[in-house]
Amino acid sequence: MSKIKIAIIAFLMVILASSCTNHKRFEIKNSETEVLQLIRFDSLLLNADTSDLSPEVKRFYRDYPEFMPYFAEQVMGANPSDTAEVTRLIKAFRTNKEFEKVNAVVQKTFTNIDSIKSGISKAYQYLHHFFPEIKTPPAYFFVSGFNRSIILEDDFVGIGLDLYLGSNYPKYSEISYQYMVYNMRPVSIAPDLISALLFRHFQFDGGQERLLENMLYRGKVMYLLSVIIPDLAPNDIMGYSRFQWEWCRKYEEKIWNTIVGQKDLYSSDQLLMNKYLNDAPFTATVSQESPGRLGTWVGWQIIQSYMDKNSDITLQELMKTTDYQLILNKSEYQP
């Protein structure tokens, strides 16, 4: 067996081992109850007869009274009460030569959505189990003309499939930054949707606006996401390639020493925090070889250590805890 194959197998074993902790502690049995209602609005729209769209549009309004007005206004850019305008814009979108090609790829890529549906459904079950107060509304798959990836409303959520066609899809290099293209993959749909739900429900709760609080707040959400989507590899939950994840593991001690040594941990400088937390080709405060969002990654590792060292802490207690210095101290984080 080659050294490369051995290294890959070893890496996958580390990934598997790191995800098993959450599986065993918070694992729940799959519920018989179907908690996910998923509507393939993309298929309905793309299969509608363009020679006479008016009856189809009226049916969309009748069958999907929450989603259709939003789609008309926010995605199509129409006055939702003007069905003639909505019909005209949908027809223009459907017959646009460029988007005809994109939509054909959507239909081919998402012919079978069983694994995606299963991932979201299982995540909904975990949310119902641990946080029943979080709404898990119907999910609509749609095509957006590269307009929207995730929609969050009280009555529905939406996933723009044309922004999840795969990191090798050539059009993405024209509409997005290269460092963001990697996550425009089908595997990113469930973590993108569930993390959006979590960030909306668990809003920033730090008593002080410092890097420490922001890192650990995001770390809590990432830890929770790893529990709620237990079958997904940690690097995919984070939105890192396996090589980016491996880089972080390899240099974890240096990353932490840099944050502490530069006295960044307790900084309230917004520009500095953005460098650690925002999407970027790399984390400029650490290394040009690093992935972006290292502050979130380190925050997750601290929360992981905190939960491992304090096995009596429930997920509900974790999310309610706002004393981030206490979490850091009790995590005994030593990379």
Cβ-in-10-Å burial (0-12, 13-18, 19+) of 321 comes to middle
Last residue of a domain, one of 157, 184, 200: 200
Last residue of a domain, one of 170, 200, 230: 200
**pLDDT for position 14:** 47
- Say if pTM beats, i.e. exceeds, 0.75: yes
Is the domain of 147 the same as that of 283?
A: no
Domain count, the chain: 2
Is the domain of 237 the same as that of 180?
A: no
Is the domain of 120 the same as that of 143?
A: yes
**pLDDT for position 206:** 79
Question: Domain of 147?
Answer: 38-200
Is the domain of 162 the same as that of 213?
A: no
Inter-residue contact 224 to 212 (CB < 8 Å): no
Q: Residues of 247-285 as b/e, b for ≥16 C-beta within 10 angstroms? A: bbbebbeebbebbeeeebbebeeeebbebbbeebebbeb
What would the mean pLDDT of 291-318 be, rounded to a whole number?
Answer: 97
Is the domain of 107 the same as that of 207?
A: no
Is the domain of 210 the same as that of 188?
A: no
CA triplet 132, 135, 136: central angle to 5 degrees?
Answer: 100
Nearest CA among 242, 228, 231, 247 for reference residue 289: 247
pLDDT at 20 over 70: no
Last residue of a domain, one of 200, 222, 246: 200
Inter-residue contact 69 to 61 (CB < 8 Å): yes
pLDDT at 50 over 70: yes
**pLDDT for position 31:** 59
Inter-residue contact 105 to 169 (CB < 8 Å): yes
Is the domain of 193 the same as that of 312?
A: no
Is the domain of 43 the same as that of 20?
A: no
Is the domain of 123 the same as that of 257?
A: no
Is the domain of 9 the same as that of 71?
A: no
Instruction: Please report which residue ranges of 27-109 form alpha helices under DSSP H.
Output: 41-46, 54-63, 67-70, 83-95, 97-109
Is the domain of 52 the same as that of 186?
A: yes
**pLDDT for position 4:** 45
Tell me: the pLDDT tens digits for 178-219?
A: 999 999 999 999 999 999 999 999 999 878 899 999 999 999
Dist. CA 301–CA 303, nearest whole Å: 5
Tell me: the pLDDT tens digits for 56-87?
A: 999 999 999 999 999 999 999 999 999 999 99
